Amino acid sequence: MTDALLSLSGVAKSFKEVDALTHVDLEIHSGQVVGLVGGNGAGKTTLLRLMAGVMEPTKGSVLFGKNRVSNMREKLGVVPESTGLYSRLTAWENIRYHSRMYGIDDDVAWSRVSHFAKMLDLTEALSRHTKGFSRGMRQKTALLRALAHGPDILLLDEPTAGLDVTSARTVRKLVTQLRNEGGTVIYSTHHLAEAQQVCDRIVIVHNGEIRADGSPRELLELTGKETLEDAYVYLTSDKARNRGEDSKDESRIASWWRRFLTGKTPTISEVIEDE
C-alpha cells in the first residue's frame, strides 16, 4: 500500500476535564472514501478539527505526508456542518473569495466549480445571493467552495444533516463521483446506512476512541454479525459518555471552522474564551 496521505499517531485531545479523544491511530490513503461513524459526543467532530488543522492535539501528531497538517491547509477542503456563507454575497462570490485566498485564478476556480455545479443542479443559483438559500442550497454551495481550489482531501462534517431526501442523495452522488475520479473524502456521519452507501471504509468512533476500522464486510467478519447495524451496536454496547465536545454552542463550533475557511489566527481573547 502507498504511503498515507494523512496520518494520526497516538492522538489525544482534552478540554479541561473532558477527554474528547483518548488514543487515535489512523491512516487515510489516496482514493478512499472513509466514513467516521459515531453518535453525538463520540469524538467525530474533534477528530475532523484535528485533521483540518484548526486544533492541535494534546498528545500525538497529525501529519499530511511528512508535514504538520496545520501547515498544509491548502491541501484540504472542508465542509463544516455550519456552512459559514456570507449572505450578502452571491454563491459564486463566496466561492471566489475562498479560492482567491489559496491563490487560485478565477478562471481555474470557475472551471472546477462549473464541473460540479451541474451535478449539484446549482449552476443557475451561482449568481444569486445566499441569504435566501435553502439549507440544501447552502450545503451545495459550501461543497463547491471546498472543491474550488482542488484539494487533495475533502472533509465533510455531517454533510446531509437537515437536508431533504433529494438534496441528500445529490450530495452522496457527488461523493461517489469524487471517488471515481480518484478523490479522497473523509465523511463524518451518525447515520450508519448512509456510510454504508458511500464509504469504502468505515471507522467507528465511540467514547473518544476508535472501536473498529475496515470495510463493511470486514466489520461483519470482525464481530460475527449478519448486519452492519448489529455490528455497530455490538462494538458500542457500553454506555455512551456525557456529551462533551458537541455540547458547545453553535457560535463556538462555527468560529473554529471560520478560522479554517478564512485562514485567520485566533485572537488572545478567542483562545481564552474557547479554553
Q: What is the pLDDT of residues 45-104, one digit of tens each?
A: 899 999 999 889 999 999 998 899 888 888 999 998 788 899 999 999 999 999 999 899
**Cα separation of 65 and 118, whole Å?**
33
What's the confidence (pLDDT) of residue 70?
83
Q: Count Cβ atoms below 10 Å from residue 165 Cβ, excluding itself.
A: 8
Q: State the Cα angle at 145 between 144 and 149, rounded to 5°.
A: 100
pLDDT tens digits, 7-33: 999 999 999 888 899 999 999 999 999
The model's pLDDT over 141-178, given as tens digits with 9 standing for 90+, comes to 999 999 999 999 999 998 988 888 988 999 999 999 99
User: With 70 as the cut, is the pLDDT of residue 254 above it?
Assistant: no
Bridge partners of residue 12, in order along the sequence: 59
Question: Taking all residues of the chain, what is their mean pLDDT, rounded to a whole number?
Answer: 86
Return the pLDDT at 260. Answer: 58
> Quick check: 83 and 143 in contact, CB under 8 A?
no
Please report which residue ranges of the chain form alpha helices under DSSP H. Answer: 44-52, 91-101, 106-120, 135-147, 165-180, 192-198, 216-223, 228-235, 250-262, 268-274
pLDDT surpasses 90 at 199: yes
Q: Residue 272 has what pLDDT?
A: 32
Task: Tell me the CATH class for 6-274.
Answer: alpha beta
Vertex 269 angle, CA 53 and 16, to 5°: 65
What amino acid is encoded at 14 in this protein?
Answer: S
pLDDT, tens digit (0-9, with 9 covering 90-100), for 92-123: 999 999 999 989 999 999 999 999 999 899 99
What is the model's pLDDT at position 269? 39
Asked if 148 and 95 touch (Cβ cutoff 8 Å), the reply is yes
Secondary structure element (H or E) that encloses residue 34, with its range? strand 33-37
What pLDDT band is residue 274 in, cutting at 50, 70 and 90?
Answer: very low
DSSP assignment of 62-108 equals EEETTEEGGG-GGGEEEE-SS----TTSBHHHHHHHHHHHTT--HHH
Share of residues in the chain with pLDDT > 90 (%): 63
Residue 242: what pLDDT?
63
DSSP helix/strand/coil, 182: coil
* 154-to-174, 195, 196, 238, 258 alpha-carbon distances in Å: 12, 15, 18, 31, 16
**Closest-CA residue to 121 (of 135, 140, 134, 138):** 140
Maximum pairwise Cα distance, the chain: 53
> pLDDT value at position 257?
56
Confidence of residue 271 (pLDDT cuts 50, 70, 90): very low
Phi-psi region of 16 (alpha: psi -120 to 50; beta: other; left: phi over 0): left
Give the pLDDT of residue 61. Answer: 94
Which H/E stretch holds residue 201? strand 201-206
250: pLDDT strictly greater than 50: no
Report whether pLDDT(192) > 70: yes
